[in-house]
Amino acid sequence: MKGFFSSSTIRLELFEKNSAIFNMSKGKISLIGIGRLGICTAMVFEKAGYEVLGVDINEDYVNKINNKSLISYEPHVCEMLAQSKNFRATTNQVEAINFSDMIFICVDTPSTGDDRYYDTFKLTNVLTSINAEKPSNKHIMIMCTVLPGYIRNEGRQLIKDCTNCTLNYNPEFIAQGAIIHGFLNPDVVLIGAENETAASRIKEIYVNSVANQPHYAIMAPESAEVMKISLNCFVTTKIAYANMIADIADKTPGANKFDILKAVGMDSRVGMKCLMPGWSYGGPCFPRDNRALAGYADKIGIDAKISKATNEINLQHVDFMAQNYLEKNKDTYVFEHIAYKQPCDVPITEESAKCFVAVKLAKAGKTVILRDQPHILEDAKRLFGKEADFVYEDIATPRDPATIDG
Q: Are 357 and 325 in contact (CB under 8 A)?
A: yes
Positive or negative, the CA dihedral 42, 139, 58, 125 is negative
Query: In this predicted structure, what is the pLDDT of residue 5?
Result: 36
**CA nearest to 182, candidates 168, 198, 169, 171:** 171
236 and 275 fall within a common domain: yes
Instruction: Kindly state whether residue 310 falls inside one of the protein's structural domains.
Output: yes
Q: Is residue 378 part of a domain?
A: yes
Total number of domains constituting the chain: 3
Q: Which letter does DSSP use for residue 247 in this model?
A: H
| Domain final residue pick, 175, 202, 219 | 219
The stretches of 210-253 forming alpha helices (DSSP H) are 221-250
Same domain, residue pair 207 and 69: yes
244 and 348, same domain (yes or no): no
Determine the Cα–Cα distance for residues 146 and 358; give it in Å rounded to an integer.
32
Residues 6+ apart with CB under 8 A from 45: 29, 31, 52, 205, 209
**Whether residue 271 sits in one domain with residue 378:** no
Q: In the chain, what's the furthest Cα-to-Cα distance?
A: 69
Statement to judge: residues 332 and 267 lie in one domain: no
CATH number of the domain where residue 255 is located: 1.10.1040.10
Answer whether residue 24 is part of any domain: yes
Cβ atoms of 351 and 282 within 8 Å: the answer is: yes
Secondary structure letter of residue 397 according to DSSP: S
- In tens digits, the chain (406 residues) has pLDDT values of 444 333 333 222 333 343 344 445 789 999 999 999 999 999 999 999 999 999 999 999 999 999 999 999 999 999 999 999 999 999 999 999 999 999 999 999 988 877 778 999 999 999 999 999 999 999 999 999 999 999 999 999 999 999 999 999 999 999 989 999 999 999 999 999 999 999 999 999 999 999 999 999 999 999 999 999 999 999 999 999 999 999 999 999 999 999 999 999 999 999 999 999 999 999 999 999 999 999 999 999 999 999 999 999 999 999 999 999 999 999 999 999 999 988 788 899 999 999 999 999 999 999 999 999 999 999 999 999 999 999 999 999 999 999 999 9
| Residues 194 and 251 reside in one and the same domain | no
In this structure, what is the dihedral angle of CA atoms 354, 356, 360, 363, given to the nearest 10 degrees?
A: 110
Residue whose C-alpha is closest to residue 178's, from 278, 73, 80: 73
Q: Give the Cα separation of 319 and 99 in Å (integer).
A: 52
Is 245 contained in some domain? Answer: yes
Q: Select from 310, 274, 279 the least CA-distant residue to 292.
A: 310
Q: Is residue 75 part of a domain?
A: yes
Taking CA 132 as the corner, what is the angle to CA 130 and CA 134, rounded to the nearest 5 degrees?
80
In the prediction, which pLDDT does 78 show?
A: 96
Question: Buried b / exposed e across 216-237, counting CB within 10 Å, b at 16+?
Answer: bbbbbbbbbbbbbbebbbebbb
Residue 126's Cα: distance from chain center in Å? 20
DSSP 115: T
CA triplet 255, 258, 259: central angle to 5 degrees? 65
- How many whole angstroms separate alpha carbon 291 and alpha carbon 115? 9
Omega before 343 within 30 of 0, i.e. cis? yes
pLDDT at 112 (0 to 100):
80
Q: Are residues 368 and 227 in the same domain?
A: no
Together in a domain, 177 and 298: no
The domain that holds 115 is classified in CATH as 3.40.50.720
Domain end, chosen from 219, 235, 265, is at 219
Task: Tell me: do 205 and 77 sit in the same domain.
Answer: yes
| Same domain? 153 vs 172 | yes
**391 with 315, same domain?**
no
Whether residue 230 lies inside any domain: the answer is yes
| Separation between Cα atoms, residue 336 and residue 325, nearest integer Å | 15
If asked whether residues 252 and 349 sit together in one domain, one would say no
Give the model's pLDDT for residue 24: 59
- What is the CA 115 to chain-centroid distance, rounded? 20
Residue at 299: amino acid letter: K
SS (H, E, C) 326-371: HCCCCCEEEEECCCCCCCCCCCCCCCCHHHHHHHHHHHCCCEEEEE
Q: What 3-state class would DSSP assign to 191? A: strand
In a domain, 1, yes or no: no
Where a domain ends, among 171, 196, 219?
219
* CA 59 to chain CA centroid, nearest Å: 25
> Is residue 2 in a domain?
no
The whole-number pLDDT of residue 10 equals: 28
Which DSSP helix (H) or strand (E) runs through 28?
A: strand 28-32
Q: Give the Cα separation of 159 and 3 in Å (integer).
A: 24
Q: Which domain holds residue 261?
A: 222-320
